[in-house]
Amino acid sequence: MNAPTQDLLADPTIALTVRLLRQASVTPDDADCQQIMARRLEALGFQIEHLRFEDVDNLWARFGTTGPVLVFAGHTDVVPTGPLERWQSDPFTPDVRDGHLYGRGAADMKASLAAFVTATESFLAKHPEPRGSIAFLITSDEEGPARNGTVKVVETLQARGEAIDYCIVGEPTSAERFGDTIKNGRRGSLSGQLTVHGVQGHIAYPHLAKNPIHLAAPALAELAATEWDRGNAYFPPTTWQVSNIHGGTGATNVIPGTMDVLFNFRFSTEQTAETLKTRVHAILDRHGLEYEIDWTLNGEPFLTDHGALIDAMRAAVTAVTGEPPELNTTGGTSDGRFIAKHCPEVVEFGPINKTIHKLNECVAVADIPQLAAVYEKTLERLLG
């Protein structure tokens, strides 16, 4: 075990990251992370609101009353640790090895949360009256169902007419080196639970039954082979993937009466949920299946293809790292999908994502102060 040294803890962003990592905030438990952040922000003059919806804690904190409004958005909850015996150190006891800080949530996303706070502290020390407002939107429900977190806070802001102009989500976006990637959008996610009906019977008398697996196989093959679109300048082509198939009673001599298929689309801005649904139904109908589908729209795609926020962040990253970042929209969903409905410019930027959700999650120690520097320089360009 290598506890962070006093030299490391002298850096305010590293110190706050370590403090947050000690909180076992497994989703949806915030474990007082938001209170730790709120105390720092309140000392700066932020107005603090703790918004709890069912079992989820949310923080909305704002400094200033004028526009434009720049929001730092993120989540304090982390995924479960997995087998503790397979961690090289306790996941909630921060440990430094080989230039990396280890702990559950180190990259996703407590380093970003700490950098949000310290960047804001440094910026306001230089600009006590910024040209606009700074706000924090922090939830403990991003890694879970995401029903009582950011989406509810955004609905609250909309109901009272509180606008957001720019939003930086602290997701870990860097791929190979710190600062190589800014995400300026995300694909949409549409899931379906397909049930195909047949007629159950004895496997020795197939003429007296209808096997739904046999009936559905050609349709599933066509769905898998379909080119839904070719993507565009920012998005890869839309994909359709089966995640689970189940049919039968478990016996070897029974033709099943139904087959269940779970599938998911990750789709670009070339599609909408409705166009995808229509095309799926057309294929299934053409194959003459008796079926039903329960659809779940997990998130619409969103894109910020230009604007002051992208310009400011690209310049900030380049100034800190010496190399310009690329823009892309890869990866899964994020809470940016909820904020984009209320905010015209949303980007995501954070540390290297290679270890997120894995055993022995970590972040490079040297990247943590750089992360705060990027956020501060972005503030300088937009509100300084």
CA nearest 265: which of 255, 256, 276, 252? 276
The answer to whether the CB of 18 falls within 8 A of the CB of 101 is: yes
Catalytic residue among 11, 29, 30, 142: 142
22 Cβ contact list (under 8 Å, min separation 6): 92, 93, 94
Angle at 26 between CA 20 and CA 27, to 5 degrees: 115
Is 77 labeled as catalytic in the residue annotation? yes
157 Cβ contact list (under 8 Å, min separation 6): 60, 163, 164, 342
310 Cβ contact list (under 8 Å, min separation 6): 182, 184, 304, 327, 345, 347
Is 49 labeled as catalytic in the residue annotation? no
The answer to whether the CB of 75 falls within 8 A of the CB of 171 is: no
Burial of 209 (0-12, 13-18, 19+ CB in 10 A): middle
Catalytic residue among 77, 335, 345, 376: 77
The answer to whether the CB of 216 falls within 8 A of the CB of 286 is: no
Mutual angle of helices 367-383 and 12-21, in 10-degree steps? 110
**Which amino acids are annotated catalytic?**
77, 142
